[in-house]
Amino acid sequence: MSKLTIYKERGLDATMIPNSFIDDYAAGANDIQLKVYLYMIRMTGAGLPFSVSDMADKFNHSEKDIMRALRYWEKARLISLDYDSDQNLKALHILPITEGGAAAVDAQRGEIVTLGPKLVSPSNEQVSKRAAEEEGTEAQPGKRAYSADELNAFGSDPDTSQVVFIAEQYIGRTLSRSDIESLIFIHDELGFSVDLIDFLIQYCVDKGKKKFSYIEKVAINWAEDNIFTVRQAKNRMTRYDKQVFAIMKALGKDGNNPTEVEMNYIRSWLKELNYNLEIITVACERTVLATDRNRFQYANAILKNWHEKGVKHLKDIEVLDAAHEKSAVKKKPVEKKNAFNDFSGQRNYNYEDLEKLLVSN
Task: Write down the pLDDT at residue 24.
Answer: 82
User: Is pLDDT at 352 greater than 60 in this prediction?
Assistant: no
User: Is pLDDT at 176 greater than 70 in this prediction?
Assistant: yes
Mean pLDDT to the nearest integer, 191-195: 90
Mean pLDDT to the nearest integer, 220-239: 85
Query: Mean pLDDT in the chain?
Result: 76
Task: Write down the pLDDT at residue 134.
Answer: 32
Mean pLDDT to the nearest integer, 233-243: 81
Task: Write down the pLDDT at residue 311.
Answer: 92
Residue type, position 306, single letter: W
Contact 164, 202 (CB under 8 A): no
Task: Please give the CATH number for the structural domain made up of 19-119.
Answer: 1.10.10
Q: What is the dihedral of CA 207, 209, 210, 214, to 10 degrees?
A: -130
Residue 133 pLDDT class (50, 70, 90 cuts): very low
CATH 1.10.10 domain locations along the chain? 19-119, 148-228
Is 313 or 336 the better-scoring residue by pLDDT? Answer: 313
Angle at 137 between CA 297 and CA 160, to 5 degrees: 115
Task: Write down the pLDDT at residue 281.
Answer: 94
Which fold, 148-228? Arc Repressor Mutant, subunit A (1.10.10)
Task: Write down the pLDDT at residue 206.
Answer: 85
Task: Write down the pLDDT at residue 257.
Answer: 76
Which one, of 183, 208, 233, 229, lies nearest residue 32 by Cα?
Answer: 229
Q: What CA–CA distances, in Å, run from 182 to 152, 154, 212, 290, 302?
A: 14, 12, 7, 44, 38
Mean pLDDT to the nearest integer, 251-271: 86
What pLDDT digit, counting tens, does each position of 214-229 carry? 999 999 989 888 888 9
Residue type, position 26, single letter: A
> Where would I find the beta strands (DSSP E) of 24-178?
79-83, 89-94, 111-114
Residue 120 pLDDT class (50, 70, 90 cuts): very low
Measured distance CA(206)–CA(6) in Å, rounded: 59
Question: Which of 18-32, 63-77, 177-191, 336-350 holds the top average pLDDT?
Answer: 177-191
3-state helix, strand, coil in the chain (%, to 5): 55, 5, 40
Measured distance CA(61)–CA(52) in Å, rounded: 10
Residue 99 pLDDT class (50, 70, 90 cuts): very low
Task: Write down the pLDDT at residue 81.
Answer: 83
User: Is pLDDT at 340 greater than 70 in this prediction?
Assistant: no
